[in-house]
Chains A and B, each alone.
Chain A
Amino acid sequence: MAEQRDVAAAAGGKLAVHPLPVRITHWVNVLAMLIMIASGWRIYNASPLFGFKFPRDLTLGGWLGGALQWHFAAMWLLALNGLVYLSYGVLSRHFKASFLPLTPQSVWRELSNALRGRIVHELGVYNAVQRAAYAGVIVVIIALVLSGLAIWKPVQFQELAALMGGYEGARIVHFAAMTLVVLFILVHVAMVALVPRTLLPMLTGYAKRPEHGQES
């Protein structure tokens, strides 16, 4: 997308940040993920894996049957939207352009900088921590979907379930992946709230071009 970015920048003094397919699939994913998490918490409450339940007011569906209906309806939205996003990311080279290069050293360096209050943020370019987080959450969501399939169909997809230690193992993987996604969302939303100018480009696609060279 580098070419497109330069063209747009030359044309109107605006910086193209997020291409349209990324913006659409991002917000569809927000909706699908909120439904999946809130209904999933209600399903969890019917037979908690661990010694706690999720607060009822944060759950969706009213009762187990309602929550299951939401979960098994929204799973199609999540999966189909995810497939569109992944296909786009690979075919358009969006993933390659946005997430690479990615080395453990660069992630560690920028993470320790960020924790000391030195957050590097250029609109339109992901820093190493962002690359690791965004690429990582994609992998986690894939694990979430695969473990969900194993729980849904532990006989028909028993080979998949076996990879996670069978049905009960898949429940643990599903819960762990959900937890990681929720942690990602909390940090992600907190970062947007701390750097609010990153929100608009995810809606319009563009950011105002900084006047004096690169922002940092």
Chain B
Amino acid sequence: MKNPPQQPDRSLVAPTREIVALERRLFFKQGLSLGALTLLSGCDITDADAVQKVLWSMSRWNDRVQAAIFDPGKLAPTYPESAITRPFPFNAFYPEAQAPRVDPATYQLELGGLIRERAPWTLEQLYALPQTSQITRHICVEGWSAIGKWGGVTFRTFLERAGADLTAKYVGFKCADDYYSSIDMATALHPQTLLAFRFADQILPAAYGFPMKLRIPTKLGFKNPKHIAAVFVTNDYPGGYWEDQGYNWFSGS
């Protein structure tokens, strides 16, 4: 850092014309170099592998912090029917017209990993499980949010019926649209985590994830997989479609 040019030790109360002009030039010069510094930090540093490594390990650290902050008994705020966002926004990594059309007659939910009863479930069997509903806020990683009503079975009930190892670390999901994701067991067992079959009291339309989505009001929207085809329980980190590209894995709300 260079020393600032020597200023005459005189009052600024009535600056002379020369000083004003000099300081105006300095103002622009220093303003420019500050702008250049900002630009540098935007381009070069981002590409460096070392910085990427630091950012990824900070994201893993944030996973651990969020797991520690997560209170398994704390419920997400719920809202009255009048607060529901209409129309509820469609969101996926493809346009709405490409949402997969799953045939309910042949559909079966596959189970895998640390689960005792791995026989696949038909929709009829799933609909026969005790049903509940919630009106909660869906918060997208992009920042927007929308309130919706989802109905289905609490995921804990489903995992218990299937005989899943509830002490395992992760529950993973494979979807009919080739999406995949995974969550921590504590969130899977949260009382508001639903295997949802209905949206706004109707069977879940294709755009919102027919035949089922996992509704988790304690996580960001992309952690709520739609069109679920398979559920597996594991102790090996399964990652996810967006998580593998850099979105934070835990992404709790």
* Cβ–Cβ contact A58 & B5, under 8 A: no
- Smallest beta-carbon distance A18→chain B, Å: 15
Main secondary structure of the interface of A (DSSP, over half): helix
Question: Within 8 Å of chain A (Cβ to Cβ): is B121?
Answer: no
A sample of 21 inter-chain contacts (CB < 8 A) reads A34-B38, A57-B39, A57-B42, A58-B42, A62-B46, A66-B46, A66-B246, A68-B247, A69-B59, A73-B59, A119-B12, A155-B217, A156-B70, A158-B74, A167-B145, A189-B31, A195-B12, A196-B4, A200-B3, A203-B1, A211-B9
Question: Within 8 Å of chain B (Cβ to Cβ): is A90?
Answer: no
Q: Which of A8-16, A38-46, A103-111 contacts B (4 or more CB under 8 A)?
A: A38-46
Report which B residues bind A (CB closer than 8 A). 1, 3-5, 7, 9, 11-13, 23, 26-27, 30-31, 34, 38-39, 41-42, 46, 54-56, 58-59, 62, 66, 69-71, 74-77, 137, 139-145, 217-218, 242, 245-248, 252-253
Contacts of A168 in B (CB 8 A): 145
* Cβ–Cβ contact A47 & B144, under 8 A: yes
Which chain B residue has the least Cβ–Cβ distance from A70?
B55
Of B1, B31, B41, which is within 8 A of A34 by CB? B41
* Cβ–Cβ contact A46 & B42, under 8 A: no
Question: Within 8 Å of chain B (Cβ to Cβ): is A147?
Answer: no
5 additional contacts, CB 8 Å, given A66-B55, A154-B137, A155-B77?
A66-B46, A66-B246, A153-B69, A193-B26, A200-B4
* Cβ–Cβ contact B13 & A65, under 8 A: no
Interface residues on A, range: 35 or more
* Cβ–Cβ contact B58 & A69, under 8 A: yes
Complex CA distance for A216 and B218, rounded to whole angstroms:
57
- Smallest beta-carbon distance A138→chain B, Å: 22
- Smallest beta-carbon distance B177→chain A, Å: 20
* Cβ–Cβ contact A46 & B143, under 8 A: yes
Of A62, A155, A195, A203, which is within 8 A of B76 by CB? A155
* Cβ–Cβ contact B77 & A196, under 8 A: no
| 0 or 1 for each of A113-139: is its CB under 8 Å from B? (1 = yes) | 000001111000000000000000000
Of B12, B41, B139, B218, which is within 8 A of A60 by CB? B41
